[in-house]
Amino acid sequence: MTVKHPTIALTGATGFLGSHLMAALLEKGHRVIVLGRSSRDATLSQRIAGLLKWFDKENLTDRLEMADIDLSKARLGLGLSKYNKLCQEVEQIIHCASDTSFTEGKREQVFESNILGLKNILAFASDARVQFFHYISTAFACGQDEPICLEQLPQANDFLNVYEESKAQAEKEIAQFCDRQSLAYTIIRPTIVYGDSRTGRSLKFNALYYPLRSLMAIRDIYINDLQNNGGKRSKAHGIYLDEEGYLFLPLKIVLPKSGGLNLIPVNYFVEATLRIIKNAHPGGIYHLSNTAPVKMETVISFSKQFMKMKGVEMAYAISPQNNHRNPAEELFDRFVKAYLPYMHDNRQFDRTNTDAATSHLQPPAFTNAVFNRCMDYAVAVEWGDKLKQYGALT
């Protein structure tokens, strides 16, 4: 018996999560209509072709279509006839496109992308009378002061950054609009997503990767100083290479309290999202989270082994001793400022809806082997620089 899969319009297919969803939907037999834009360097078709090459899914283009759209414009910037044709063909929408910038200086840009652009894709959902509108949000839309985040619309007013704030507002606007228009919707909330736990492959290297890349960059500065410049600068701060080739780098990562990173691999995100779409309940909110967050001490332990370093430690709360930062510590603090709050996060995420829709599918453990696979791949592709040949994420 042939299973009929709904035709899905997907935004954000040139991004990290959206590209993985596109590849998986095509693999499952869905007809996918990518709603996206050309970049300065490549057309939308070229960008998607490069991503399919990276995924090794170039043989699945018979079920793939593309529409070059503009979310900031009515009718998605399309002519009336093309827009009406799109409305007739689309059965479900996955809205994955968003601006993930954290900094307050980009508030206007983030809200323009995540809120203003939302209005036109919702209007399209209404005009198309889709079966479901699926929104990829973030688990952190619940707000920073919620110890237990429920699978319900956010009530908080305090957020760690403008990105979280914009996603919380977007969730409310989606719910209000869809309720008024009698449209079924779901909100899918992943925590911090890293690469594929089975292969280590990834298309993007922020979130978990950025602090690790920063630590490696600092390490390399001092190794270069010791090996090529006589090491005067390093030795002044007690930095040296020991007999085993390990760099001793006195660097305290200071956090206000103990906590961890709530990590899920992208392969879990994809499988859980596909199950939710298949078993979606109208108005359902779903947390794709890890019930066992990874302690920062564990991440640091893995990092020191991988990078052949000693001396990196965790320190909690602010004390006069912790206030005196050496140059390596000051550099690390500056690099990872935006990510520090997620390193000591103790929020718990309700998974009642998620467990019901996914048959209790859980993310794999973040082990040393998984860490090494992901870091090996990141280093091998020079933190994404070598992926430019695919036009990925440009």
Residue 161 identity (one-letter amino acid):
N
Predicted pLDDT of residue 41? 85
Asked if 310 and 249 touch (Cβ cutoff 8 Å), the reply is: yes
Q: How far is CA 151 from CA 154, 192, 282, in A?
A: 9, 17, 13
Asked if 32 and 8 touch (Cβ cutoff 8 Å), the reply is: yes
Reading the block at residue 294, the tokens are 């990874």
| 3-class DSSP state of 10 | strand
What is the band of 390 on the pLDDT scale with cuts at 50, 70, 90?
A: confident
- For residues 171 and 252, membership in a common domain is answered with no
- For residues 50 and 77, membership in a common domain is answered with yes
CA pair distance 57, 47, nearest whole angstrom? 14
Asked if 130 and 183 touch (Cβ cutoff 8 Å), the reply is: yes
What is the band of 259 on the pLDDT scale with cuts at 50, 70, 90?
A: confident
Residue 55 placed within a domain: yes
CA pair distance 12, 99, nearest whole angstrom? 10
First to last CA, the chain: 40
Paired residues of 254 in beta bridges: 315
Strands across the sheet containing 8-11: 64-68, 32-36, 8-11, 92-95, 132-136, 185-190, 284-288
Owner of token pair 């490069």: 50
CATH number at residue 270: 3.40.50.720
Q: How far is CA 211 from CA 125, 139, 215, 331, 392, in A?
A: 38, 20, 6, 11, 22
Predicted pLDDT of residue 388? 83
Predicted pLDDT of residue 324? 83
Predicted pLDDT of residue 319? 61
CA pair distance 166, 319, nearest whole angstrom? 34
Asked if 92 and 8 touch (Cβ cutoff 8 Å), the reply is: yes
pLDDT at 3 over 80: no
Give me the chain's average pLDDT, please: 94
Close Cβ partners of 182 (under 8 Å, ≥ 6 residues apart):
none
Asked if 73 and 112 touch (Cβ cutoff 8 Å), the reply is: no
* Nearest alpha-carbon partner for 47 in 306, 374, 392: 392
Residue 71 placed within a domain: yes
Q: How many CB atoms lie within 10 A of CB 199?
A: 12
Asked if 14 and 36 touch (Cβ cutoff 8 Å), the reply is: yes
Paired residues of 316 in beta bridges: 255
What is the band of 392 on the pLDDT scale with cuts at 50, 70, 90?
A: low
What is the band of 4 on the pLDDT scale with cuts at 50, 70, 90?
A: confident
Q: What is the mean pLDDT of residues 361-377?
A: 98
Residue 144 or residue 3, greater confidence: 144
What is the band of 2 on the pLDDT scale with cuts at 50, 70, 90?
A: low
Per-residue model confidence as pLDDT tens digits over 41-90:
899 999 999 999 999 999 999 999 999 999 999 999 999 999 999 999 99
Residue 2 placed within a domain: no
Residue 184 placed within a domain: yes
CA pair distance 325, 276, nearest whole angstrom? 47
- For residues 336 and 350, membership in a common domain is answered with no
- For residues 87 and 168, membership in a common domain is answered with yes
pLDDT over 70, % of the chain: 97
Per-residue model confidence as pLDDT tens digits over 321-359:
556 899 999 999 999 988 888 988 889 999 999 999 999
Domain that holds residue 337: 209-258+295-342
Reading the block at residue 151, the tokens are 């699978």
Reading the block at residue 369, the tokens are 């082997």
| Percent of residues in the chain assigned helix, strand, coil, to nearest 5 | 50, 15, 35
Give the 3-state secondary structure of 220-273: HHHHHHHHHCCCHHHHCCCCEECCCCCEEEEEEEEECCCCEECEEEHHHHHHHH
Residue 158 identity (one-letter amino acid):
D
Q: How many CB atoms lie within 10 A of CB 90?
A: 24
Predicted pLDDT of residue 389? 74
The domain tally of the chain equals 2
- For residues 242 and 269, membership in a common domain is answered with no
User: Is residue 296 exposed (0-12), middle (13-18) or buried (19+ Cβ within 10 Å)?
Assistant: buried
pLDDT at 375 over 80: yes
Per-residue model confidence as pLDDT tens digits over 133-186:
999 999 999 998 778 899 999 998 899 999 999 999 999 999 999 999 999 999
Q: How far is CA 155 from CA 66, 115, 180, 184, in A?
A: 37, 18, 20, 21
- For residues 110 and 159, membership in a common domain is answered with yes
Asked if 345 and 170 touch (Cβ cutoff 8 Å), the reply is: no
- For residues 95 and 223, membership in a common domain is answered with no
Residue 144 or residue 275, greater confidence: 275
Owner of token pair 């794999």: 364
Residue 3 placed within a domain: no
Residue 305 placed within a domain: yes
